[in-house]
Structure 1
């Protein structure tokens, strides 16, 4: 017999210029999980059932990724558009403020949603937000991100990913073949479902420049009545997203919360990660 938290209810929602595929599990206060990078809802397959014992958990594929569609791949997918997608998705499930958890690049969507529609977000937990514009000397990072974008257009998405992975903190093997390198890292880090050619084409194409250049509205985030939490991993110290997470927390006057594992802790240590997330969600706002 299936428990309520094991039962997945799937659906789609039409948003301007796209159709989002989403899943709902469990019952209780709503918790939206926003994936990072080229990932879709399956990024949370291991932790969503654990969280759904206590929450109504929403997972989804951002526009253009996995099972979600986008009408025009020739137009940039802005962070503002992604935040509006998340807002519209929440409205299909609840009229109450929701808990929102995001990781990596998905934190930009969550931060924008919180800054522009604070009444919609009860608590935001941003796990290792990768925000290059917060770094000192971010001009160098801008140039590096521009090179990744150009590489995707000229040499292909595997070559772009080969440049992106080390900068994101992944320990990549030496390999002269970009496709071999990507396959090795994907298999080792349980990322096969995300590192698909179709997802990478969107990530390093219309998503990349708006995401790489995103600047959060710090004043709006400080003023929100909801709770904002910034998380870092126990084993990702010194990596790009760890450093930008510390900078964001400092700019917001927050003490970071330490989550188990590295940048992909929800994949490598799902039970420990889910337990930590539930503890954070249970804290008074």
Structure 2
């Protein structure tokens, strides 16, 4: 296993932990949820054989502490952290960027804010619910999650969130995929960040309104991805509508919303293929 170069970047209101592996064109991986750089542990080695792969813990997650723990979060600020990493590690170079879930929302904003720096952006199931015709229902969901978290605590809020994200499939009795041992250990370690995720990331990121005209102009460099097992779920619906409204292709990836964790080998192979396919 390759030993990464590990360092920190001082950003506005936070210190960002990042890791660099490999050589070749720059590839920035932006994690969603609470996993941080560790989310990519099972795919990063293969990607680093022909890319300079940058992973990091988003601000407030893992080893990237906030200066003030209760600081309000904003998608633009998270995207600016990603941009500053590109400026530090590959100044002036066009980058390939992959983001999943909330990380995909940060990747979309990065692409619209700094299109000159993006060679390809792959957004895996960004929960951009504001593009949906029933967006008002999802605003109400976010409000319920916040209120439940405030009045009842973390686990009830997570239950409300999970039921809302499941969408049309909420009543299905679906077996949960068994995680590989290393992935299960990473998930357990990330539990400490769940209060921050539910209290700060969910409400801010799920209320984000993507700049559809700018994304449409970037459609030849944009790939919207969705899980093969996610049909009917909220992030899949949002990804599908985003692809339709921007003219970007919708690519199916192995597994569901956390296919990166449950199907890492197949997921990594699909990502490599999408990254190396010539732009339309």
TM-score by length of 2: 0.89
Q: Residue in 2 aligned with 1:36?
A: 32
Q: Which region of structure 1 is more displaced relative to structure 2, 126-135 or 223-232?
A: 223-232
Q: Distance in 2 between matches of 1:186 and 1:155?
A: 28
- Check if 1:102 corresponds to 2:99: yes
For 1:239, which of 214, 233, 241 is the aligned residue?
Answer: 233
Q: Residue in 1 aligned with 2:44?
A: 48
Q: Residue in 2 aligned with 1:180?
A: none
Q: Distance in 2 between matches of 1:167 and 1:161?
A: 10
Q: Distance in 2 between matches of 1:169 and 1:194?
A: 20
How big is each residue's C-alpha offset from its partner over 1:175-194, in whole Å with a ceiling of 9 and x where there is no partner? Answer: xxxxxxxxxx7985845534
Matches within 5 A, 1:8-19: 8-19=4-15
Contact 2:60 2:66 in 1 (8 A): yes
For 1:129, which of 95, 108, 126 is the aligned residue?
Answer: 126
Task: Give the superposition deviation at 1:234.
Answer: 1.4
Gaps of 5+ in 2: none
Q: Residue in 2 aligned with 1:80?
A: 76
Q: Distance in 2 between matches of 1:172 and 1:133?
A: 20
Q: Residue in 2 aligned with 1:284?
A: 278
For 1:193, which of 179, 186, 190 is the aligned residue?
Answer: 186
For 1:70, which of 66, 84, 107 is the aligned residue?
Answer: 66
SS of the equivalent of 1:42 reads helix
Contact 1:118 1:226 in 2 (8 A): no
- Check if 1:210 corresponds to 2:204: yes
Task: Give the superposition deviation at 1:72.
Answer: 2.0
TM-score by length of 1: 0.88
Q: Distance in 1 between matches of 2:9 and 2:238?
A: 33
SS of the equivalent of 2:200 reads coil
Contact 2:177 2:262 in 1 (8 A): no
Q: Distance in 1 between matches of 2:201 and 2:227?
A: 25
How big is each residue's C-alpha offset from its partner over 1:246-282, in whole Å with a ceiling of 9 and x where there is no partner? Answer: 0000001123111112111111111111111111111
Matches within 5 A, 1:17-32: 17-32=13-28
Gaps of 5+ in 1: 174-184
- Check if 1:141 corresponds to 2:135: no
SS of the equivalent of 2:186 reads coil
Q: Distance in 1 between matches of 2:134 and 2:163?
A: 19
Q: Residue in 1 aligned with 2:255?
A: 261
Aligned length: 272
Q: Distance in 2 between matches of 1:151 and 1:197?
A: 18
Task: Give the superposition deviation at 1:221.
Answer: 1.4
SS of the equivalent of 1:193 reads helix
How big is each residue's C-alpha offset from its partner over 1:113-172, in whole Å with a ceiling of 9 and x where there is no partner? Answer: 100110111100011111111121211111111111122222222221122223334999
Q: Which region of structure 1 is more displaced relative to structure 2, 187-196 or 10-19?
A: 187-196
How big is each residue's C-alpha offset from its partner over 1:52-102, in whole Å with a ceiling of 9 and x where there is no partner? Answer: 112111111000101111112333110010011111111121111110001
Moved over 6 A (4+): 170-173
Contact 1:118 1:225 in 2 (8 A): no
Contact 1:249 1:255 in 2 (8 A): yes
